[in-house]
Structure formats: C-alpha cells, structure tokens
Structure 1
Amino acid sequence: MDDAESDEFAGTRGGGGRMARARVGWLALAPNVRGALWVIAAGILGSLMGMLIKLVGTRIDSAQIVFFRSAFGLVAVMPFVIRGGRRSLRTRRPVIHLVRGVLGLTGMSCLFYSLTQLPLADATALTFTKPLFLIVLAVLFLGEAVNWRRWSATAVGFLGVLIIMRPDTGIDPAVFVALAGAFLVACVAVLIKRMSATETQVSMIFYFGVIVTTLSLVPALLVWKNPTPIEFGALILTGFLGTAAQSCMIRGFTFGEATAVAPFDYGRLLYAGLIGYVVFAEIPDRWAIVGALVIVGSTLYIAYREARLGKRRVPPTIG
C-alpha cells in the first residue's frame, strides 16, 4: 500500500476511515450491481410519492399534482445548482432536454392519472411493462447486447405482471393510460442513458424541472383547486420525493446497462403492496401474491447473474 492509500485509510476508527472503507467497498461492486442498488432506492422513494399522489388525488386533479410535483422538485434541486454554479448547467444537447421534458411530462401525467383512478398495486403493476419497451428501445438506440438470460428473466417478470392483472376479468380504460405512461417512461430512460455521457446529473434534473413546470402550468390552472394545508404539505413532499427518486434513477442508468438494471424496478410492486395494505386497506389476493413471487424470483436471478459476472470485472474508478 503506498502513501496515498495509507492516508486514505488512516484513522479507521473515525468516521473518515469508515467512509473510506465504504467507498472502496462500493467501488468494488460491478457497475450493473451499483446501478441496480440505485434503482431499488428510486423505487422506494417513488412508491412513497405514489402513496401521496393517491391520497391527494381524491380531491386535487392529477394535472395540478403534476405541476406541484415539478415545481417543488425544481426547488429541491436548486441548492445543488447553486453549489455547482453555471458549470453544472452547461449542456451540449438542449434539444434532447426539451424532448425528454415533453415525453416526461406526458408520461408523468399518464402515470399520475392512473394512480388516482386505479388501486395502488394495479397502477404500479402496469408500470412494469416498461422493461419490455426498454429492452427493444435499448437494443435499437443504445446498441446494447441482450443475452438470452436477460430476455428470459424479463419475460418471466412480465408474466408475473400478467398474473396480477388478470386481463380476463375486465380492463379499466385507465389501464391503457398507464401503459402509455410506461412506454413514455421507457423512452425517457433511453434518453437519460444517452445524455449521461455529456450531461451532468444536476443539469438533467434542473432542465427537466424547468420544462415540465412551465408546460404543466396551463393545464393545472384549468382545473385548479386551492389545496388545504395538509394537501399542500403532501404536495411539497411529493416534489422532493420525486426529485430524489429521479436522481437515484439517473444514477442507476448511468452506472448500469439499461436492460440489466431496469428489472430491479420490479421491487416497487412489493413496496406498493405493503403501502396499499397499510394505508388504503387493499388486500392482495392469491394471484397477486403469486405474481409478486414470480417477479421477485426473476429479479433475484438477475442479481445473482450480475454478481457472478462482477467477480470477473475490473472495479471502476468512479462512483
């Protein structure tokens, strides 16, 4: 170990030493494993945001919720903009930022509407069609190679979603809105992967917030209802949770391959099911449980495969 490494590990009994060891352990993980962990964190934060949207959506229109989520999300990222200065906002792809903003706004509107119209677990389950769209888009536009194991695991995960949905029982029109939202979110994920090569995380979140807040203002005004203090607090928290989830998701798709990390978003089904049971008294039936087990099984298999592959890779130097 050279002098620099000795300095890094000096004081291992203090907080600095623990942080150094944690960072080294984190960097030792394969890129796809790190990406998966960021996606899992994004899923937990996003599920909490969905809970608030469903609670507030009993009285406030989803178009107005989209505006508040974007506006307060923009406020949440401003400290990072101020700290990073103009350099953090430099961009080489302003047109792609605009396209991402438009697609993101439309997708967000679709998903928020489905959250207010469908049971939380059902609305969440429908978003799991995103990896199917994403695999095709990633192959076409990102040039990623997808082996048969990943195709198979993702297909099995989607089978679990179908078990939960049970289309033969009748489909609410809001289901198609949710599917449209899932497709648009997949498109945004592909754009994030391409943008991450030249754009900073702060710039991607900032410009997205500016564009979506601006474009969503008029629809919000058309259905405006003054929120109560409790609703206003929930809307503020929605914005902050959304920004945090978005930040985690961007990191996930930056460090890992899109087709490798996307299936870990399936964990949101478990979080949504728990929230639905505790907060909304929604009790999943046996088919929902079977579908969840299928989804979890496919996700764990992918995690196992990525962990084995990671042992044969050289640890990266950035985190």
Structure 2
Amino acid sequence: MPQALEQRWMGLSGNVRGALWMIASGLIFTVMAIAIRILGHRLDSFQIAFFRCLIGFIAILPLVGAYGIDVLQTRSLKIHALRGLFGLISMFASYYAIARIPLASYTALSFTRPLFATILAVVVLHEIVRWRRWTATLVGFVGVLVMVRPGAETFNSAALFALMDSLSIAFLITLVKRLPPGETALGMMFYFGVFSTIAALPPALFVWQWPTALEWSLLILIGVLGALSQSFWIRAYRAGEASVVAPIDYLRLLFAGIAGYLAFAETVDLWTVAGAAIIVASTIYIARREARVRRAKAAEAATATGGAAAS
C-alpha cells in the first residue's frame, strides 16, 4: 500500500476501518459462495473442502515468510488441532448446504452462531448466562423453526447442514477464547491450515475425481477468496469494537439475496424473510447485551484497581 494511502487509511477511526474490513469480507465471501454453488454440483463437498484448506494454506505462506517464523510461536497445538477439525466440519457442512439451498437461506441460518455460542459458553466455558440472553437465544431458535419448517413439504434437509456449520463455527469461537493472549492472527490461520488440510485429505481421497480446467480455476478461486475473507474478518474485529463491527456482518444477507437472484434466479418466501428477521434481531440483541456486560466488567475492574492503588 502506498505510504500516502496508508496514512489516509490509518487516519480513519478504528470502527470505520473495522466496518470496511467487514464489508469487504462479506463481499468476498458472497463471491466465494457463488463459486461453491457452481462447483458443488460438479465435485464432492469433501474434495472442495480439502482444496479450500490446502490452497488457503498455501496463500498465507508468503505472509509467514514476510513476517518471520516468530508469528508461529504457540503453546496450544491441541487447541489448534481441534480448530482445524471443527473448521473442516464447518467447511464440509457449509459447502453441502450452499450447493442445495438458496444463498440467502444459508446466510440467514449462518447467523445462528451466537445462539449456539451461548449454549457452548455455559457448557464449555462455564460462563453465567442471565435470563435475557437465554430468552433471546430461544427466540432465535424459534426463527430457525420458522425458516426451516420441519415437517412441511418445503423442508430441505440441507438446511440442517447449514446449522451444523454454525454449530462448528461456534465451537471455533469458543476454542479461540481458550487460546492464550500471545497467539497471533497469522499464526492461528497457519495452524488452522496445517491441521484442517491433514484432516481433509483422507475423506477427499475416498471421493476423489480429477478436476477439469474450469474446476481447478474455481477451486483456486475458492481457496484464495476463503483465506482473504477470513483474514479481513479477523482484521475487522482487531480494528474496531465488536459491538460496532459485528452488526455490519449482517450485510452478507443482503449480498447473498442479490447474488442468489442475479446468478441463480433464486427468490425467498415470506417464511424465510420472517425467520431471518427473528434470527438477526435475537443475535443483535445478544451482541449488544454482551457488549454492555463487558463494559460493566471493565468498569468494575478499573474501579477495583483504582481503589487498590489509592489504598
């Protein structure tokens, strides 16, 4: 980036930079989803996931070389291995779902991650969740039922894979919270690439077929765009406050709706719109509630520190 442009970029507030990173991440993910939809009817989802892991891993190697080996220092290889496994499950489930349900429906269901994260925060991290957050979580799952409508003639079992993707991502978020503070974003991406690629190879070999020239192009595109989208998403949260940046991610729903209509003539019914609105509203409430709780805890800690210093 030219120095003058970099100075102008850094002159923006952290929240503005975070919002722009998140918008860029959403746009890139939407383009990647179109490529996945096309490729998902030509190759098995396990094979697509393997190449996404491998190509995404190769794409970040130049960055590791530029920043030096120190960015890879870690004391948490087991957690990184678990992240790679759950990341692979997420990729397989998402690629399977994207190829079989409308992009807008998949995107709306992907926003259930905070709902699953609430449950995992209690089960895995032993956090205390108050009744307001539990209520919002239950309302969010009502929105899922409105969208999916199990038992209805329009029910598509691929929607369950979209929920599996969200559950896996919620596990990933929970695991990240257990990483020590010294872990770098580039290091996390590197180890994710290593472990997910190794885990993806056996199932990919089981369903292997040699890609055509078009399929190779799409595989490379998915791998590179996936790494970019992940990198921009991490940069968004590092640049801005989570309470400001997180709601910007919901623009992906608009991007997916437009892309699905233009690329595949997809339309969504009122049930999908209503369910998506319920899910988005509940997850926004949860995000804002968590932000208030974090600010309150930070204020208490500052007060306690100030009191200790005064005494």
1:71 Cα offset (Å): 1.0
Check conservation: 1:189, 1:253, Cα contact below 8 A.
Answer: no
The amino acid across from 1:76 in the alignment is: A
The amino acid across from 1:18 in the alignment is: R
Q: Percent identity?
A: 46
Check conservation: 2:115, 2:283, Cα contact below 8 A.
Answer: no
Q: 2:61 aligns with which of 78, 89, 93?
A: 78
Aligned: 1:98 with 2:81:
yes
Aligned: 1:62 with 2:63:
no
Which residue does the alignment assign to 2:96?
113
Check conservation: 2:111, 2:279, Cα contact below 8 A.
Answer: no
Structure 1, 266-275 or 153-162: larger mean CA deviation: 153-162
Aligned: 1:202 with 2:202:
no
Q: 1:309 to 1:18 in 2, by over 3 A?
A: farther
Q: Number of residue pairs matched?
A: 294
Q: Distance in 2 between matches of 1:212 and 1:309?
A: 34
Aligned: 1:212 with 2:196:
yes
Check conservation: 1:150, 1:260, Cα contact below 8 A.
Answer: no
1:110 Cα offset (Å): 1.8
Q: Deviations 1:234-254 (Å, cap 9, x if unpaired)?
A: 111101111122223334566
Aligned: 1:285 with 2:277:
no
Structure 1, 106-115 or 235-244: larger mean CA deviation: 106-115
1:285 Cα offset (Å): 1.9
What's the TM-score once normalised by structure 1's chain length?
0.76
Q: 1:129 to 1:297 in 2, by over 3 A?
A: closer
Q: Distance in 1 between matches of 2:255 and 2:172?
A: 23
Question: Equivalent residue of 1:50, what SS?
Answer: helix
1:66 Cα offset (Å): 0.5
Q: Deviations 1:33-58 (Å, cap 9, x if unpaired)?
A: 97776555433332322221111111
Q: Deviations 1:163-198 (Å, cap 9, x if unpaired)?
A: 333334243333333322221111011112332622
Q: 2:106 aligns with which of 119, 123, 137?
A: 123
Q: Distance in 2 between matches of 1:15 and 1:65?
A: 37
Aligned: 1:18 with 2:28:
no
Check conservation: 1:131, 1:186, Cα contact below 8 A.
Answer: yes
Q: Distance in 1 between matches of 2:133 and 2:21?
A: 19
What's the TM-score once normalised by structure 2's chain length?
0.77
1:267 Cα offset (Å): 3.6
Structure 1, 187-196 or 301-310: larger mean CA deviation: 301-310
Check conservation: 1:122, 1:165, Cα contact below 8 A.
Answer: no
Matched ranges for 1:235-246 at <5 A: 235-246=219-230
Q: Distance in 2 between matches of 1:155 and 1:255?
A: 31
The amino acid across from 1:108 in the alignment is: M
1:124 Cα offset (Å): 2.8
Which residue does the alignment assign to 2:36?
53
1:272 Cα offset (Å): 1.8
Matched ranges for 1:1-319 at <5 A: 15=5, 17-22=7-12, 25-26=13-14, 29=15, 39=22, 41-142=24-125, 157-170=140-153, 171-195=155-179, 197-251=181-235, 265-295=249-279
Structure 1 gaps of 5+ residues are 1-13, 315-319
The amino acid across from 1:163 in the alignment is: V
Q: 1:277 to 1:16 in 2, by over 3 A?
A: closer
Q: 1:156 to 1:251 in 2, by over 3 A?
A: farther
Q: Deviations 1:259-312 (Å, cap 9, x if unpaired)?
A: 997666444332222211111111112333344445555677778889999999
1:70 Cα offset (Å): 0.8
